[in-house]
Amino acid sequence: MKTMLAAVLHDFGDLRLEEVPVPQAAEYGDVVVAIKSCGICATDYKAIKGIRRNVNFPFVPGHEPSGIVAEVGPGATHFKPGDEVIVMPSGYCGYCKHCRVGNTHYCENAFTTGGDGPVHVWPGAFAQYMRTRDTSLFHKPANLSFDVAALTEPLSGAWKGVIQYSEMKVGDDVVVIGVGSIGLLCMMVARAAGAGKLVAIDTSEYALRNALALGATHVVNPASGDARAQVYDITPEGPDIIVEAAGPIQAVRLMVDLRRRGTRWNVFGITTHESFELDGGYTHFLEGRMDASFGTNPLAMSKAIRLMDRGLVDVERIISHRFPLSQIHDALQVMGTPDRNKIVINP
């Protein structure tokens, strides 16, 4: 039996590098991908550290992969061994009521590889090989490196949140709260889509310097004073769109405080079960619109690939560290530090 190296989470805080069997493409539509690159998402980090608790053990994390097709199973006719591919972490049936109307990420029979959301969680991409379905694969453009291609999934989430759900228009003034890797991607999508004023909010000066380098027109550090006053000095009429890409509940509360009449606001970054309050009458009066964005879908993945392929968003610029799979514990230590952006694992 062939084996491979994989990072297996046995309990919160107990991630082990182990030799495990190489997955097989045994079922209809199965594909086995040799993983070349996989980004570390904050949700991976939260699962490993026990901040996110919806995990069944043992669990192989990692849901932002690219690689090369190693084996195809029966019925997998659109890809062949040797094809360079990008992997969407979610798989869908195509037949349930949600799939039929295009909401494949709501699929009643969904699975995810190395992520969370559906009931069915397959081993993920912090491993040398991963099994998925051919419907979750996209051909990698030749001009994209595997590291860049691995960021398709987070970029697709940014496109889905900013463009598809919050419906950003050319000239909109956009505020992004939290400019770590996902916030920077949201900001870069907004810039590519023609944002007017593009305001980055973060308590990290490192993050704010990155935001300015990647297209923010203004930055605000809440530690330096009243964040709302600073934003309204920059945009006296108030923001058209606010994206919360930070995670802490304080960021959501700041987003609520920044609204004006008609603001679209997107709860994107928070993944933990914490509460915030809304004044019902005031919210009614503002007539704004709250959106949220979780996961991705084939449309968003396709749009993200085009953004990178056409050079409209350069995700290479947010990769700050790379580690081999054998050093994943070192990578996780860096994940817990403030001066980093996207970390990529190379199995």
Q: pLDDT tens, 68-104?
A: 999 999 999 999 999 999 999 999 999 999 999 999 9
Compute and round to an integer the Cα radius of gyration of the chain. Answer: 20
The boundaries of the domain holding residue 194 are: 155-292
Q: Give the chain's domain count.
A: 2
Report which of residues 187 and 53 the model is more confident about: 187
172 shares its domain with 276 = yes
CATH of the domain at 24: 3.90.180.10
% of residues, the chain, pLDDT over 90: 94
How far apart CA 48 and CA 44 sit, in angstroms, is 6
- Is the predicted pLDDT of residue 144 greater than 90, yes or no? yes
Domain assignment present for 306 = no
196 shares its domain with 133 = no
How far apart CA 64 and CA 149 sit, in angstroms, is 9
14 φ, ψ (degrees, to nearest 5): -125, 75
96 shares its domain with 13 = yes
Report which of residues 134 and 1 the model is more confident about: 134
101 shares its domain with 159 = no
pLDDT in tens, 316-343: 999 999 999 999 999 999 999 989 999 9
188 shares its domain with 268 = yes
Which among 57, 28, 62, 64 is positioned nearest to 301, based on CA atoms? 64
126 shares its domain with 160 = no
CATH of the domain at 204: 3.40.50.720
pLDDT in tens, 170-200: 999 999 999 999 999 999 999 999 999 999 9
Domain assignment present for 8 = yes
18 shares its domain with 124 = yes
Average pLDDT, the chain: 96
190 shares its domain with 235 = yes
12 shares its domain with 146 = yes
Mean pLDDT of 139-161: 98
The position carrying tokens 């979780």 is 294
